[in-house]
Amino acid sequence: MYRLRIRTLWPAAAAAALVACSEDPTASPPPFAVAPMPDLELELPALDALRPATEERRRGAASGDPPGPARITEDWEEELSRPIQQIFDPRTRTRIEGAYGYALGLHEYIGNIGRIATTVQASMGSQYLGAFTAESQDYTPFFFDFGRVKTAWAQARVSLAETCGLEVHGSSVHQAWWQMYQGRSAPMWGVATRTSQADETSQGGCADAATGTRKEGRSEPGGVICYYKITYELDTGIIVDAQLLSCVGSGDEQW
Amino acid sequence: MIRPALSAPELTRVLASKRSTRTLLAFVSMASLSWTHLHGQAVPPGRTVIAVPDAFPAIEARALIVRTPEEDVIVLREEGATPDALLMALALLRRLRAEDSSPGSHQVIPITGFVVTREAAAEHRRDAEAVLRRLRAAPPVGLGDLGEGRWTPLGR
């Protein structure tokens, strides 16, 4: 009886062993196996280069070089630096008007290039929500400047539609320098840099006490969310549109 | 692996019939569909996917929403994958969909910050927690340009 059973069962056992040892990738998985998670084929542009649309304003001769003073060697610095005050009254002001929060940076300067980067930052209480920087650079041809005092300004804004209880902060980096012509390799001197901060401006409290404290009991989450939107071409990664930083109220949405 | 829509005897019989040309075309297209299903690994169109990459992109954002004509992907930071973050990202996605239900081009929406002032109902928080548990239990796979990480569809 025992021998008969072995003789009856061994082909099936051998077949099972063969199946178990085979590495045929096309073999069907056992029914209790967990289905493997497929890869997510997500294609994105270079994300570290993404930023909201900078409202850059450049006045004067155009240049293909990136804005800002070029790196210069210590020799150049020693030879060309001049102990003159070139930036006067650097300041930043903030305000909230309509659906936008603004930060305006200003300074007067001597030099044929003036540059300013003004940042507006939105927050609620102590929580940071987002920031946006606007940049401006003004150029006057070196030989026609005659050391005149000029004004540089930049204004950054953030959309605050449908929100309340937000604060807007502002800060600027002010720069001025001399340069024979615009270009990263062009010699420059008298580079001056100063910073300024604005007083905080508050949007005011919310009518229904929807902010400031966490409350429960409603079906949907409520709060403020800040974001910007970049539209790009998948094939080339080229950014075709970049929306301003926006803060919106959230509370009417359903899960 | 190509999964034929017809067995070999059926195919032989069909090929021998008068309508062989039309049926052969149908067979080829069905086999192609099976190939795409198994090897393209495409997420069905219109789905919402939650992903957590091992290394979040070097960008100032608490989360990202990536919108494509096929799907919407919410990308969370590993340390920031909380029910609040997920619910707020979903609330924003709902708003973006209301503005543009199916974008013709690709969009990246970095969420620079959020403040929750009113918590969602307990059942919705439980739903969000369940999705995040499923996400953490998912095996590590490739996330395309985001590198390695995990993902899960929003719905079951």
Q: What is the pLDDT of residue A118?
A: 96
Number of H helices, E strands in chain B: 4, 6
Q: What share of chain B is helix, strand, coil (3-state, %, to 5)?
A: 40, 25, 35
* pLDDT value at A177 more than 50: yes
Q: Residue range A188-217: average pLDDT? A: 74
Quick check: B84 and A221 CB within 8 A? Answer: yes
Check residues B9 and A53 and name the one with the higher pLDDT. A53
* pLDDT value at A106 more than 60: yes
Quick one: DSSP state of residue A233? -
* pLDDT value at A151 more than 70: yes
* pLDDT value at A90 more than 90: yes
Check residues B117 and A250 and name the one with the higher pLDDT. B117
Looking at every residue in chain A, the average pLDDT score rounds to 74
The helix/strand/coil state of A6 is helix
Nearest CA in chain A to B59: A48
Q: What is the pLDDT of residue A222?
A: 79
Binned at pLDDT 50, 70 and 90, residue A97 comes out as: very high
Q: What is the pLDDT of residue A183?
A: 77
Q: Which amino acid is at B79?
A: E
Which has the closest alpha carbon to A229: B72, B82, B142, B124? B72
Query: How would you write the pLDDT of chain B (156 residues) with one tens digit per residue?
Result: 334 444 444 434 444 444 444 443 444 344 333 333 322 333 344 689 999 999 998 888 999 999 988 889 999 999 999 999 999 999 999 889 888 877 778 899 999 999 998 888 888 889 999 999 999 999 999 998 899 999 999 876
| Rounded Cα gap, residues B38 and B34, in angstroms | 6
Quick check: B122 and A216 CB within 8 A? Answer: yes
Count of pairs with CB atoms under 8 A, one residue in A, one in B: 181
Q: What is the pLDDT of residue B104?
A: 77
Residues 6+ apart with CB under 8 A from B6: B14, B27
How far off is chain B from A234, nearest CA to CA, in Å? 6
- Chain A hits for B58, CB-CB cut-off 8 Å, are 47-48
How far off is chain A from B33, nearest CA to CA, in Å? 17
Quick check: A245 and B112 CB within 8 A? Answer: yes
Nearest CA in chain A to B52: A40
Q: What is the pLDDT of residue B99?
A: 86
The C-alpha angle A165, A169, A172, rounded to 5 degrees, equals 165
Quick check: A215 and B119 CB within 8 A? Answer: yes
* pLDDT value at A69 more than 60: no
B5 burial via Cβ count (<10 Å: 0-12, 13-18, 19+): middle
The closest CB to that of B141, out of A37, A43, A122, belongs to: A37
Mutate to test the interface with A, among B118, B124, B132, B154 (most CBs of A within 10 A): B118
- Chain B hits for A38, CB-CB cut-off 8 Å, are 41, 43, 141
Check residues A147 and A115 and name the one with the higher pLDDT. A115
| CA A255, chain centre distance (Å) | 28
Q: How many CB atoms lie within 10 A of CB B9?
A: 8
Q: What is the pLDDT of residue B135?
A: 94
Check residues A224 and A84 and name the one with the higher pLDDT. A224
Which has the closest alpha carbon to B75: B135, B124, B118, B133? B135
Tell me the ipTM for this assembly.
Answer: 0.70
Contact assessment for residue A142 and residue A181, using Cβ atoms and an 8 Å cutoff? yes
- Chain B hits for A231, CB-CB cut-off 8 Å, are 103, 105-107
The closest CB to that of B107, out of A210, A216, A230, belongs to: A230
Q: Residue range A216-235: average pLDDT? A: 76
Q: Give the residue ranges of DSSP H helices in chain B.
A: 8-16, 20-35, 83-99, 122-137
Mutate to test the interface with A, among B36, B105, B112, B151 (most CBs of A within 10 A): B112
| Rounded Cα gap, residues A56 and A135, in angstroms | 5
